[in-house]
Amino acid sequence: MNKKIGFIGCGKMAQAIIGGILKSKAVTPGHIIATAKTKETLADVKNRLGIEICFSNKQAAVETDILFLAVKPDLHSAVIDEIKDYIKPGAIIITIAAGISLDYLEKAFGQKIKAIRSMVNTPSLVGGGMSVIAANTLVSAEDLEEVIQIFSSIGRAEVMEEKMLDAIPAISGSSPAYVYMFIEALADGGVKAGLPRKQSYQMAAQAVLGAAKMVLETGKHPAELKDQVCTPGGATIEAVAELEKKGFRAAVLSAMEECYDKTKALSDNNK
């Protein structure tokens, strides 16, 4: 990729994306520039990743072909006001913040821009992320392929219509938190049965990882894979029956509805 990529804000998620880009060799460290508020953050990033750093958001905007707005939602307005007159013609602007719509970006910049709205999750930090992106009409097929290449470097990437993005946090953005709770509960069950805590976490986490890979790599319906584990009259079907009795599915669905409502409210406030 013969493009320069910029990051305004260089927190953990931005660093994960930068690390993925460099690991995939999509560009060299010299083709990435990042800004941050503190000298400590920039020095650390420079030492570990070898990328270009600066304190000037305007400089990052002037130099880059693909510019990530990697700041919190409430900082977008101030950052965009600062850089909107300095972005390169034809630059692709990407937000990774929840609730920042394409329409918001277009209005805030006050000009026609190539805009991408994305939703990423924390497993991106270990290359196991799920990213969903939506683009406005000015983003070409070639532009989109380059953006997909970037997000694929930290896991899987999917392109969807923007109207669907408010539902994404509940299923992939926030859901790692639910899974961590599930892993913790599994480990507690192992400890209750007499297993050491460390090994209980390892076995629970590996079981979840393996089950997820089975869904992704076999293409089979999760219900079919569940049935393969549940032998007639066995222990697993007893456990599944107890989960159903305690409202396991209903609790997950209810949690996702709450998450969606909160995300939708944030999005509505940024239109």
Q: Which residues are annotated as a binding site for NADPH?
A: 57
Under DSSP, is residue 7 helix (H, G, I), strand (E, B) or coil? Answer: strand
Query: Can you name the residues that pair with 115 across neighbouring β-strands?
Result: 93
First to last CA, the chain: 33
**Rounded distance, CA 31 to CA 18, Å?**
11
Positive or negative, the CA dihedral 78, 81, 83, 87 is positive
Task: Please tell me what DSSP assigns to residue 91.
Answer: P
Total count of residues recorded for the chain: 271
Token pair listed for 167: 């539902």
Q: Which residue ranges make up the annotated binding site for NADP(+)?
A: 8-13, 70-73
Helix/strand/coil for 159: strand
Amino acid of residue 245: K
Neighbours of 66 (CB within 10 A): 25
Cβ atoms of residues 236 and 229 within 8 Å: yes
Q: Which residues fall in the annotated binding site?
A: 8-13, 57, 70-73
Distances (CA, A) of 225 to 107, 205, 208, 228, 232: 47, 18, 13, 5, 15
- 271 vs 268: CA distance, rounded Å: 6
